[in-house]
A = this chain, B = another copy of it.
Amino acid sequence: MGEFELIGRYFRSTALEGAGPTEQVTLGIGDDAAMIAPAAEKQLVVSTDSLVLGTHFPPDYVPSNIAYRALAAAVSDLAAMGARPLGFTLALTLPEVDEIWLQSFAEGLAEAARDHRISLIGGDTTKGPLNINVTVFGEVRPRNVVRRSDAQPGDLLCVGGPLGDGGGGLAVALAAALPADLDDAARDYLLQRFWRPMAQCDLGLELAGVASAGLDISDGLLADARHLAEASGLALHIRVADLPCSQALRFWPAEQRKEWMLGAGDDYVLLFTLPVASIRSLEIWKSQGFDVTVVGEAVVGRGIWLDEGQGLEEVARPAGYQHFQGNNNV
C-alpha cells in the first residue's frame, strides 16, 4: 500500500480534515502542499515536534495514545504563545505498514484533533524507524502573542494547572514501583494525564495580551522557568509550598512529589508571568474554571531561586543542562 493511500485511508476517513476552523484552511490534503491563511490582522504561529520511541515509552504502548500525545504536545506550544490552533501536518516514518497499528494511531490522532479543534492539512509517510513529526499552525494577533522574553521584575509567576502529573503518569505507564495503596481513580487519572494530555489552549487565549510572558512546561518547571528567566533577563523566585499538585500525586511521598513537580516535565501546563496590575484577571480565570495558581514572582537578577520556607536558595544550573536526551519533546 502506498503513501497516498495510507494518508487517504487512515487519516481522511477519520474526519481529521474538518476538526479545526475551516475558513483558514483553504486547501487540505492531496496536493503538493496545503494552503492556510490566518484571519485578518492575525499572524501564523508555527511549531514542530518529533516523537521517537525510546526509554520514555513502555513497549506495550497503544498507538492511539502515542498519536494523541504527539499532537497534544505540539499544540501545547501554540497554547503557550496564546495562539488559536488551526491546522497541523503529520510526517510519519514507519518501519512497516501495519494496518491495525495505523487504524489505532489514526483514531487517537482524530480524537486529539477534535479535542484541540485543529485540522490535519497535509502529511508525508516514509519507511524507516518509527518517528512521528507534527508541525502545528495557529493564529494570533501579533500584539497579543505571549513570548518568553517579555517578563518584567515584579510580575507574578503563575502556573495553569497541577504540576508533577507528567512524572507520576510516566511511573504508572511504566508500571514502576507504585505506592501499595494507589487506587484505581488515581491510576486512571495519571494514565490519562500521561497519554492524553490536553493542551491549555483556552487558557492560552485568555493569556494573550494579558500575560507578560509564558511557555508550556514540557521540560520540567525548573528547566522551563529557566528558559523564561533567561529570555527575559531576570530571576524567578518559586515558593515550593505553593506549587499545586493533583490528589493522585498525594499517594507518593512528599520528596517524590517535589521531584516530579520541579523536574519531571511533560506536564503541558502553562507557566506564565502576570503584571501585578492584571492580578484581577486571576480571579476571573479561576471563576471561569481555570486552575491558575501564583507560585512566585519575577525579580531583578538572574537564575531560579527556590523558597522552601527557610529563605531563598538558588538552583544550580545543571551541568548537563538541556542535555541531549531521549525524548526532549514528548
User: Which of A's residues lie within 8 Å of B, judged by CB?
Assistant: 1-6, 26-27, 30-38, 43-54, 77-78, 80-81, 83, 87, 89-93, 96-97, 121-129, 131, 133, 135-138, 140, 142, 145, 147-149, 215-216, 227, 231, 320-329
Residues of B within 8 A of A44 (CB): 35-38, 44, 137
B147 touches A27 (CB 8 A): yes
Q: With A93-B52, A129-B131, A145-B27 as given contacts, are A80 and B33 in contact (CB-CB < 8 Å)?
A: yes
Tell me which of B122, B133, B140, B215 contacts A50 (CB under 8 A). Answer: B133
Bound-state CA distance A124–B131 (Å) is 13
A46 touches B35 (CB 8 A): yes
Tell me which of B30, B46, B216, B227 contacts A122 (CB under 8 A). Answer: B46
Bound-state CA distance A145–B27 (Å) is 10
B126 touches A91 (CB 8 A): no
Q: With A54-B127, A126-B328, A131-B131 as given contacts, are A81 and B48 in contact (CB-CB < 8 Å)?
A: no
CB-nearest residue of chain B to A54 = B128
Residues of B within 8 A of A51 (CB): 126
A77 touches B2 (CB 8 A): no
Bound-state CA distance A122–B123 (Å) is 18
A324 touches B97 (CB 8 A): yes
Residues of B within 8 A of A1 (CB): 323-324
Residues of B within 8 A of A35 (CB): 43-46, 81, 140, 142, 145
B31 touches A147 (CB 8 A): yes
Residues of B within 8 A of A328 (CB): 3, 124-127
Residues of B within 8 A of A6 (CB): 324
B50 touches A91 (CB 8 A): yes
Tell me which of B4, B133, B320, B323 contacts A322 (CB under 8 A). Answer: B4
Residues of B within 8 A of A322 (CB): 2-5
CB-nearest residue of chain B to A52 = B128
B30 touches A45 (CB 8 A): no
Residues of B within 8 A of A89 (CB): 46-48, 135
A124 touches B48 (CB 8 A): yes
CB-nearest residue of chain B to A78 = B33
CB-nearest residue of chain B to A323 = B2
Given contacts A26-B142, A31-B148, A93-B131, 11 further A-B contacts (CB under 8 A): A1-B324, A4-B322, A31-B149, A31-B215, A32-B78, A34-B45, A44-B137, A46-B137, A50-B124, A54-B128, A125-B324
